[in-house]
Amino acid sequence: MGSTHKIVSSEAEELILVDADDNETGYLSKAECHNNGGVLHRAFSLFLFNTQGELLLQKRSASKRLWPGFWSNSICSHPRRKESMQVATRRRLHDELHIESSLEFVYKFDYRAEFGEAGSENELCHVYLGTIDGPIEPNEHEISAVRFVRPGDLDKEFAVSPAIFTPWFKLEWQALKSEHVEQLRTYCRL
């Protein structure tokens, strides 16, 4: 990974607060959203597959406040104040991997997960599927490593070493496989 990438996120950026029905209720800094038990805010997760049907995983940067060094889905982030989901996902595709991809919305869900004294995620997360058909250039400020994995091998890794993965990734993958399998099958073989 090169050193030409810019820092693309900060604890000061304003995130969108939502209620349980995903209606906007206000704005708060990312730091405040993740303090203590967390404040419910809008987020998104992208699952990107190559032409062989392998899922791109990212290892979160060691500088991340929550779950540093954990493996996760291709991209996970937040729309910012006054930013649509379409604009936010396009921004993060470029900021984290320097790519473009058409995305298919699958579902949304809310979850809460604590990371010890460092804080918590409390998110209403929109989950998307997409494809990668060219080279990627991971931003080292966000991502320390990337790899592609076949769905069956990922299932084995979850069974053997669940503690190396982010909690939202595990929840989302299980929901995709159990409740949205037809959409998932258009991107990979299960």
- 142 in catalytic set: no
Considering 33, 54, 76, 121, which one is annotated as catalytic? 76
Distance in angstroms (rounded) separating the CA atoms of residues 44 and 112: 14
Question: Cα(first)–Cα(last) distance of the chain, in Å?
Answer: 31
Q: Which candidate, 23, 78, 17, places its Cα nearest to that of 45?
A: 78
For residue 16, give the DSSP letter: E
Instruction: Classify residue 165 by its DSSP letter.
Output: B
Task: Identify whether 123 is a catalytic site residue.
Answer: yes
- The answer to whether residues 106 and 44 touch, using CB atoms and an 8 Å cutoff, is no
- Candidate list 123, 125, 172, 188, residue with the active-site label: 123
Report the catalytic residues.
76, 123
